Amino acid sequence: MNYGRLNADLIEELQSLLNIPVKYDEESLDRYSRDETAELKAVRPEVVTFPVSTQEVSEIMKFANRHLIPVTPRGAGTGLSGGAVPSYRGIVMSFEKMNRILEFDEANMMITVEPGVITGEIQKLADRHNLVYGGDPCSSESSSIGGNVAENAGGNKVMKYGPTGYHVYGLEVVLPSGEITYFGGKRLKDVSGLDFVHLMVGSEGTLGIVTKITLRLLPKPKYSVALLVPYPDIDTAIAAVPGLMSGSGVVPTSLEFMDGSSIRAACSFLNIEFPYADAGAHLIIEVEGNSKDSIFDDYVKLGEAAIEAGGLEAFVADNRNTRDKLWKARKSIAEALAAISPVHSMEDVSVPMANIPKLIKRSEEIAKKRGLEMIAFGHAGDGNVHVTFIKGDLPQEDWDRNLPLAEKELFDETTELGGCISGEHGIGIKRKKYLASIVDEAQLDLIRGIKKAFDRNNILNPGKIVDL
Ligand SMILES: Cc1cc2nc3c(=O)[nH]c(=O)nc-3n(C[C@H](O)[C@H](O)[C@H](O)COP(=O)(O)OP(=O)(O)OC[C@H]3O[C@@H](n4cnc5c(N)ncnc54)[C@H](O)[C@@H]3O)c2cc1C
């Protein structure tokens, strides 16, 4: 594709459409040239725009079509697959100034927001009204709801509430042509036409630009209790997971695991103590309920099942303070890793829950064979594991050669176990070359066809998910 380039005249024309000054100084271009994906080459845009309204977004897209300039939407840049990193320079469209809560509709238990709102703000607002927003990525304090919708972000409460897409009911979308449309609404049922809402969710900013989002809220359970269960080794912890629910008859809100290295990295990063910090692995199991008796019953059953499966103890965090401390450690692992072992590759494979033990075993074998260090943590209850390869002391050229081999082997094993290569972080640039190994040619053709139907000129986030 021969894209146009932004000369001074075009930048002036673009600026005339917008309220906030565009940026193209070296420092800004550098800042918007990457996200949080380690091991990904930064690519500078030619200009960064900060639209403040749907109309401005639409004007930018019409401008981009007139001059064939690629546009990369950007939320908070916390992505882990390179979705907000431009593949072909052009315009980065940042949503940091479109960050208003537009409507809090308590009667319908719906909230409508602009895409740049930080997810944690939605959670806190809902909480103040005794409601809950069920989306909860570990990055909730730093990622934007627009980015969560575009990635169908998962996180810690998927077992009970499902990923982001389960909460999205209405979307205002600027199509790549610049036309403005609205998919869905506040109604809970809608089979009038195709389900465009859920085609947009998880489309990684390649089909349209989300400018308003209507989310469903749910009644907030009165009580939550978290259990922390250390295990002697990761195999025992992981093997315990599939039986926990069937053994206890309880579906927890969260069921997370962290291997020993992950927890030690988080503790050293946060400078905190953790019970059984030298254990091989920990599970965090959280339950919610509306009566003290029923929640007590639930966590006792889960705790007993966890210990029966080899747990060393079950610590009960039944007040906000201790629960927050526990979650802080879990949520800091990715950040700790970036600080302590900056050269790493965090994967996001997802398998049917009962296959997690095999997945971890095979990942360890792959890491050993390729001379890489490895840690693993993630959302055990939904089968989503962040197998993370670390360079450690390996010479750079060995890392460069062995990492792609290890990734390919990991993805092949995952596929054999009935899994997929990304459970929540998306394909983006990082996993594009591996998509064909899990999706057949007929599906790849469909993806390309849908992209072409939405974006004739291939100007919206080109170079992501598939190449045309
Ligand atoms: C420490 C840490 C922990 C994390 N934990 C989790 C986790 O538990 N679960 C999880 O799922 N992810 C997690 N992530 C990954 C990341 O936070 C999510 O993918 C998040 O949804 C990205 O949101 P963002 O606002 O930063 O989007 P960005 O990174 O800016 O963009 C992500 C994608 O969304 C597109 N996009 C952004 N805004 C729009 C819009 N308005 N319209 C259309 N497309 C748009 C971009 O083009 C890009 O393709 C974590 C990341 C970090 C750094």
**Angle between helices 356-369 and 396-416 in degrees, nearest 10:** 150
User: CATH second-level architecture of 223-334?
Assistant: 2-Layer Sandwich (3.30)
pLDDT of residue 285: 96
Q: 203 in ligand 1 pocket by Cβ < 6 Å?
A: no
Q: 59 in ligand 1 pocket by Cβ < 6 Å?
A: no
Dist. CA 206–CA 204, nearest whole Å: 5
pLDDT of residue 245: 87
pLDDT per position as a tens digit, 232-273 = 998 899 899 988 988 889 999 999 999 999 999 999 999 988
Q: Which helix (H) or strand (E) holds 253?
A: none
Q: How many CA atoms lie within 13 A of 33 on its CB side?
A: 15
- In CATH terms, the fold of domain 101-219 is 3.30.465
Task: Report the mean per-residue pLDDT for the chain.
Answer: 95
pLDDT per position as a tens digit, 80-131 = 999 999 999 999 999 999 999 999 999 999 999 999 999 999 999 999 999 9
Checking if the pLDDT of 1 tops 80, the result is no
pLDDT per position as a tens digit, 140-183 = 999 999 999 999 999 899 999 999 999 999 999 999 999 999 99
Q: What are phi and psi of 305, to 5 degrees?
A: -65, -40
Between 64 and 353, the more confident residue is 64
Dist. CA 220–CA 125, nearest whole Å: 12
pLDDT of residue 248: 87
For CATH 3.30.43.10, the residue range(s) in the chain are 8-97
Both tokens assigned to 369 = 């064979």
Dist. CA 286–CA 221, nearest whole Å: 12
For CATH 3.30.465.10, the residue range(s) in the chain are 101-219
Q: What are phi and psi of 36, to 5 degrees?
A: -95, 10
Dist. CA 121–CA 144, nearest whole Å: 10
The dihedral of CA 452, 448, 431, 237: what is its sign? positive
Describe the chain by its helix, strand, coil percentages, rounded to 5.
40, 20, 40
DSSP 206: S
pLDDT per position as a tens digit, 48-90 = 999 999 999 999 999 999 999 999 999 999 999 999 999 999 9
Both tokens assigned to 301 = 């059953």
- Closest ligand 1 atom to Cα of 426: 19
pLDDT of residue 124: 97
For CATH 3.30.70.2740, the residue range(s) in the chain are 341-430
Q: 80 in ligand 1 pocket by Cβ < 6 Å?
A: yes
Please give the biggest Cα pair distance in the chain.
71
Q: 202 in ligand 1 pocket by Cβ < 6 Å?
A: no
- Contact status, residue 52 vs residue 77, Cβ threshold 8 Å: no
> Shortest CA distance to 379 belongs to which of 456, 466, 283?
283
Ligand 1: residue of 34, 78, 379 to mutate (most ligand atoms within 8 A of CB) is: 78
Quickly tell me which residue has 């201790």 as its tokens.
322
Q: Which CATH class is domain 341-430?
A: alpha beta
Write the CATH number of the domain with boundaries 8-97. 3.30.43.10
Q: What is the band of 320 on the pLDDT scale with cuts at 50, 70, 90?
A: confident
